[in-house]
Amino acid sequence: MTSILLPVQCPCGSHLGLLAQQQFHEIAPPVDYSFVPTWAIFLASFIGLCLVGLIGWFFTRRQKPEQPPKLPRETALEELELIAGEIETTNPYQFSIQVSDILRRYVTNQYALPVTRQTSVEFLTALAKSSPFSENEKSLLEDFLNRCDLIKFARYQATSADSHLLLEEATRFVKGEQLALA
């Protein structure tokens, strides 16, 4: 216990000069007012958060069934339907490039033929030697590629009617067997 002498002041502001003796006691340790130990609270919180995370992960994983990859035919038909709405607004030259790219990607993905890396003439020459296509499909593909080349390279002044014809030929070629069955 320590005692300190301090001067006492009157409320009116005068200094009395008297010393007051005040006693200071040591600081008491903090009072533990929880009935549950702190480590138990942290452990329960950790376990609870882990359970919430595990349940959330389980439900998000469970709600997403894996979709099988789309077939090249489905992808090509979707792309052709998508650009069909752009026939009137797209330049026939640009439209022929888009349709040609879709059909070339389809043939590359469906039949594993390197159409995207060959010119039309090279591809048609290779098809004459060995081909997975019927004669009707070959002639349709040849006609389509010749029309595209005419528009793209000979700068034929194509119209929207030519674009409609290209789209129809590409769609018929992609549907292939489906048209024969229908």
Other CB atoms within a 10 A radius of the CB of residue 30 amount to 6
Three-class secondary structure of residue 22 per DSSP: strand
What is the separation of C-alpha 14 from the centre of its chain, rounded to a whole number of angstroms? 81
pLDDT tens-digit series, residues 121-179: 887 887 777 777 788 888 888 888 888 888 888 777 778 888 888 899 989 988 875 44
Three-class secondary structure of residue 20 per DSSP: strand
Three-class secondary structure of residue 140 per DSSP: helix
> What is the residue extent of each domain of the chain?
72-181
Q: To which residue do tokens 């797209």 refer? A: 90
pTM over 0.85: no
CA–CA separation, 107 vs 141, rounded Å? 10
Q: To which residue do tokens 């528009």 refer? A: 151
What is the per-residue burial (b if ≥16 Cβ within 10 Å, else e) of 37-56?
A: eeeeeeeeeeeeeeeeeeee
pLDDT tens-digit series, residues 62-86: 766 678 888 889 999 999 999 988 8
